Amino acid sequence: MAFSRDTSGSRRELFPEIAPYGSGYLSVGDGHSVYWEQAGNPTGQPALFLHGGPGAGAGSVHRRFFDPRIWRAVLFDQRGAGRSRPLGRLEENSTPHLIADIEALRQHLGIERWLLFGGSWGSTLALAYAQAHPDRVIGCVLRGIFLGRDSEVDWFLHGIRGVFPDAHAQFVGFLPEAERGDILNAYRRRLDDPDPRIHGPAARAWSVYEGSCSTLLPHPDMVSTFSRDRAALGLARIEAHYFAHRLFLPPEGLLGHMDRIRHIPAEIVQGRYDMVCPPVSAFELASHWPAARLTVIPDAGHSALEPGTRAALLAGLDRFAAA
């Protein structure tokens, strides 16, 4: 593991807005169709963007991390998320299903090997996919590491209160007092209810909580984005579903299979003050990954769009492009 502290003060901007040059829906069975798109250079180096959540979906801003002269960027919305159909569907929705979907998409697009780029849950899924298919992975650029462990889920549901007591109070205060002893299942009962009058407010409360804790400094626009009905439902319903099933990961966890990918080069970018996915997970991952380089951003929280994190992610992609 190589380790660096980002002290450059670099504030690189994302690449300009770019439209996809191709998109579509891929039927993956079980009643699910996943939305996919490609942007950049059709003959460039393939890179797969893995969004967070689970359930958050990909957006147009995520295309802008990839230099369109170099990268053939592939983005997709995971089962039940974003533009994939049907929205918020939990049946046949698990980590092994998502890994199989990624493989189906790779084959559908005729890609031999690709770079994985993801943050938060996107880092979890990148690791799970790479461990299942190491021969298909060129390298990884990961941010805001989440390993899906019980301690990390407990931190999200309870521990953040120590840093964001106001946001946590609103999150818990949405529930009747008698149900606050089991936050996860109290929310799940509402999020899984088919009535929009019940699942809608619960989804907004869950998503606003996450958005409120995602940046070092307050960012009202980000909180507003998290609170939009469609985005909130996919994120909250699927995230709670995955949390309740321990992220559908093996009992030994992702660190238990690092031998499969220890040779694959990786750039890990971690905000020092990430309160959604605290830095300890990034340090532990890097300590198990000899080919990884960990960069800690001293003035950042969880979001990929914070200036220091954004710059480090772009620099990580640059290093792979130049390799």
Contact 12, 305 (CB under 8 A): no
Cα 307 versus chain centre, distance: 18
Q: Let me know the angle formed at the C-alpha of 265 by 93 and 58, rounded to the nearest 5 degrees.
A: 35
Q: Which of 120, 207, 212, 214 is catalytic?
A: 120
Q: Which of 77, 274, 281, 303 is catalytic?
A: 274
Q: What is the largest CA-CA distance in the chain?
A: 58
Q: Rounded distance, CA 284 to CA 11, Å?
A: 27
Q: Which of 62, 168, 257, 302 is catalytic?
A: 302
Q: Name every residue whose Cβ is closer than 8 Å to that of residue 34 and which is 6 or more positions away in sequence.
A: 25, 26, 28, 76, 77, 78, 79, 84, 101, 105
- The DSSP output letter for 217 is S
Structure tokens at 193: 């209810």
| Look-up of token digits 């893995």 | 50
The residue among 133, 158, 150, 116 whose CA lies nearest residue 268 is 116
Structure tokens at 187: 């929310």
Q: Rounded distance, CA 21 to CA 284, Å?
A: 39
| Look-up of token digits 């989804």 | 203
Residue 9 gets the label, from left (phi > 0), alpha (psi -120 to 50) or beta, of left
Residue 169's SS3 state is helix
Whether 6 is catalytic is no
Phi, psi of 9 (to 5 degrees): 70, 10
Whether 219 is catalytic is no
Q: Let me know the angle formed at the C-alpha of 225 by 314 and 282, rounded to the nearest 5 degrees.
A: 45
Contact 41, 73 (CB under 8 A): no
Whether 302 is catalytic is yes
CB atoms within 10 A of CB 224: 11
Looking at the annotation, which residues are catalytic? 120, 274, 302
